[in-house]
Amino acid sequence: MRLLVALGGNAIKQAHEKGSTQEQFMNCKKTAVLLAQVVAKMGPEDRLIITHGNGPQVGNLAVQQDLAKAVIPPQDMDVLGAMTQGQIGYMLQQTLDNQLRKLGLNKQVVAVVNRVLVSKDDPEFQGENASKPVGNFLTEAEVKEEKAKHPEYIFKKVKPTGDRCWRRVVPSPDPIANVEAEAIRKMVDAGIIVIASGGGGIPVILNDNGNYRGVDAVIDKDLAGEKLAEVVNADTFLILTDVEKVKLNFGKPNEQEISQMTVEEAKRYLGEGHFLAGSMGPKVKACIRFLEWGGKRAIISSLDKVTEALEGKTGTHIVRG
């Protein structure tokens, strides 16, 4: 088995937390314990590849940059992506390495600073099309305050219910290719547990001179994770989030959990608007792409159910039909 696990933001920072180093390391440790259990059940030829989100971290870092701009020049969004990719990669690398050694497993874990190619003509860069949530969840009143200070910011409602259901959104261009694909593939083939494409990868374009250049965006980590799955020839794509199963009519009285759906059903539900663009939508879309590419299994479930989901006992399983 070649398993690619895409970790959601709750694997690193819970919504109610401030995001201190201690909090994030504690969350990474809990995640590492679960991932180490998965590795313990793997055979010598099996492979684990990890990717992760960075929405809360990159949003908070942007706030820090803004508050300190009178003293230190703020960095561009692609640089913030690289900074948080290194931060989270380090935390996951260290905690997973510690857990593997506790289990007597001699496995190297390597986090890669990884770029992902996007198009400068992507619609996400146009007008109000930006769709990637970053930073903390906000109330409508807090949104008005932030908008007054930063009229150039775009805010969107990313949850159907609750007080804190708004977040800032930035362009989220579609990933085209993983720039470090060959190096990542070689490490995975060698048996290394690779953490790559973190935060969706650092978004870059090819300019008119044929050189890579970073852009102000945050690529969706699940869509970029699907591209990474192709690179490493994964057969199983597991997206871990904060819900055990995907739901139709989420947040409504007729809410319904889905244990299994075909690619065609997933496409229909997506078209009917059951899955929000800033949350479940990209996850379902990534699973569809993975199966259409040739992957065998695509699963969406919660972090604490990772083992049960892989065993087919829970989660939403998307199949070719």
Number of domain units in the chain:
1
Tell whether 246 is covered by a domain.
no
Find the catalytic residue in 8, 9, 59, 225.
9
Task: Please state whether beta strands 115-117 and 212-214 pair in parallel, antiparallel, or not at all (unpaired).
Answer: unpaired
CATH of the domain at 41: 3.40.1160.10
Is the pLDDT assigned to residue 237 strictly greater than 80? yes
Is the pLDDT assigned to residue 253 strictly greater than 80? yes
pLDDT value, residue 168: 87
Tell whether 273 is covered by a domain.
no
pLDDT in tens, 121-146: 999 999 889 988 887 789 999 999 99
Tell whether 109 is covered by a domain.
yes
Residue with token string 């007008």: 127
Tell whether 153 is covered by a domain.
no
- The pLDDT mean for the chain works out to 94
Dist CA 287 CA 308 (whole Å) = 19
Tell whether 72 is covered by a domain.
yes
pLDDT value, residue 303: 94
pLDDT value, residue 136: 77
Contacts of 131 by beta carbon, 8 Å cutoff, 6+ apart: 124, 156, 169, 171, 172, 277, 278
Find the catalytic residue in 13, 156, 221, 305.
221
Dist CA 178 CA 225 (whole Å) = 10
Report whether 305 contacts 244 (CB < 8 A): yes
pLDDT value, residue 204: 98
Tell whether 314 is covered by a domain.
no
pLDDT value, residue 201: 98
Is the pLDDT assigned to residue 314 strictly greater than 90? yes
Dist CA 224 CA 275 (whole Å) = 18
Whether 30 is catalytic is no
Which of 149 and 234 is assigned the larger pLDDT?
A: 234
Tell whether 67 is covered by a domain.
yes
Whether 98 is catalytic is no
Average pLDDT over residues 81-87: 96
Find the catalytic residue in 156, 227, 283, 285.
283
Whether 227 is catalytic is no
Dist CA 289 CA 266 (whole Å) = 11
Whether 156 is catalytic is no
Whether 207 is catalytic is no
Q: What confidence tier does 16 reach under pLDDT thresholds 50, 70, 90? A: confident
Task: Please state whether beta strands 154-157 and 166-170 pair in parallel, antiparallel, or not at all (unpaired).
Answer: antiparallel
Average pLDDT over residues 259-265: 97
Is the pLDDT assigned to residue 44 strictly greater than 90? yes
Show the domain range for 195: 2-135+174-234
Tell whether 55 is covered by a domain.
yes
Is the pLDDT assigned to residue 96 strictly greater than 80? yes
Find the catalytic residue in 60, 114, 132, 227.
132
